[in-house]
Amino acid sequence: MTGLWVAIGAVAVVLAFGGYRKLTDGRAREAALDEPTLGPTELGTPLGSTATFVQFSSKVCAPCVATGRLLSGLTAQRDDVNHVEIDGEERLDLVREFGINRTPTVFLLDPDGAIRYRFVGPSRKAEFVDALAELQAA
C-alpha cells in the first residue's frame, strides 16, 4: 500500500510541475528595473533602432533552433529590429551576469540596450509580437 501512495505522490508532483511549466514557459515578463544593459560592445553587433531580440541558446537545444527561426523571420520583415543569437556556452560571463538558467532565454531590448522583457523557454510568435508592440507604444 505504501508503494501506491509513493506512486500517486510522484505522479502528482510531475503533473504539478508540468502545469507550472505550461503556465510560465515562453511568457513575456517585464524585466527588473535594476538589470544591467546590453550594448553593441557586449553583443558584437549594433542594436536595432526600435528594439533588439537577444537569444541565449545552446548547441543541444531543439527549442532554441525553432525560436531562432521564428525571431529571424520576425526581424527580417523589419529594418528597425535586430535579432542576436548568443551561444551560452561561449558567453558564460553574460549567462552568469543575467542569471540565465535555461535555454532558450530571450531578452527584448529597447534602443538604449535596456532589457524590457524576458522570455524563458519556447515562446510563440504572438508573445514576441505583443511585447514588441508594447515596447513601441511606450
pLDDT per position as a tens digit, 90-126: 999 999 999 999 999 999 999 999 999 999 999 999 9
Please, what CATH class does the domain formed by 2-137 belong to?
alpha beta
Beta strands in 1-128 (DSSP E): 28-30, 51-57, 81-87, 105-109, 115-120
* Torsion angles phi and psi, residue 50, rounded to 5: -110, -45
pLDDT, tens only, 2-46: 777 766 666 766 665 555 554 455 555 666 667 788 999 999 999
Chain centre distance of CA 37? 15
Alpha carbons 13 and 121: distance in angstroms, whole number:
20
Question: What pLDDT is stored for residue 65 in this prediction?
Answer: 95
Q: What is the pTM of this model?
A: 0.79
Domain-by-domain residue ranges, the chain? 2-137
pLDDT at 61: 93
pLDDT at 86: 96
pLDDT in tens, 62-101: 999 999 999 999 999 999 999 999 999 999 999 999 999 9
Q: pLDDT value at position 36?
A: 83
- pLDDT of res. 32: 63
